[in-house]
Amino acid sequence: MRLYADRPEHRTRQLAADLGLLAWAALWVLVARVVHEAVLVLAEPGQAVADLGRSISDTMGSAAGVAADVPVVGDELASPFDALGSAGRAVTGAGEGASDAARTLATVLAVVLVVLPVGWLLLRWLRWRMGWLREATAADRLLAGGPDGLPDLELLAARAMATAPLPQLARLPAGTGAGWRAGDPAALRALAGLELGRLGLWTPQ
């Protein structure tokens, strides 16, 4: 199975398209990384709030434990510290929630920035490359010929007669159409060469 055309100009375009796709993907991966790191900065305040709430909760929990050891009034003294500890835990939860949301946003944006532009170009590239591959493979089968080993140029010539642009047909030698109807080998080769040239393939000698 061939991956590239025979003719240098056609093969160069294919290689340029392949390298362009890789460069496009690398560009958007780089952009996604930059955006990911930038959005992750938004998680830092939430993490700081969570750390502050955790510190308050731990401190108030320790204070409540000390106050609870005071005889008679220990429970009453520990109650405000317990309330402050609960408030600290709530602050911790809010900070962690904000931090997690920022990290999730960073990941989603990074994925979208890669999938959408790269996927769009990849689909176009695949349609173009697979279309060429199917046609080139079919042309190779015709060029392989039948049991006699001779290439089947008649179908390629008929395809060129039906689809080749008029300016290309007009540049062929005079009488090519009549020669094609008569089965003239030179006319068949000239017309088949148009179709093979469109695919970037050489006409067999």
- Per-residue pLDDT tens digits for 26-63: 999 999 999 999 888 877 777 777 777 777 777 776 76
Structural domain range at position 47 = 1-132
Same domain? For 112 and 173 the reply is no
- Do 157 and 203 lie in one domain? The reply is yes
- 44 and 112 co-located in one domain: yes
Q: What is the pLDDT of residues 117-148, one digit of tens each?
A: 999 999 999 999 999 999 999 998 888 876 66
Same domain, 128 and 151: no
Closest to 202 (Cα-Cα) out of 147, 151, 148: 151
- In this structure, are 60 and 5 located in the same domain? yes
Which of these three, 132, 163, 188, is where a domain ends?
132
pLDDT at position 8 is 93
Report pLDDT digits (tens) over 65-99.
666 666 766 666 667 766 776 776 777 777 778 78
Q: Kindly state whether residues 121 and 163 are assigned to the same domain.
A: no
The answer to whether residue 192 sits within a structural domain is yes
Residues 108 and 204 in one domain: no
Same domain? For 122 and 154 the reply is: no
Does 149 share its domain with 85?
Answer: no
The answer to whether residue 139 is domain-embedded is: no
Q: Are residues 73 and 172 in the same domain?
A: no
In this prediction the pTM is 0.73
Is 30 inside a domain boundary? yes
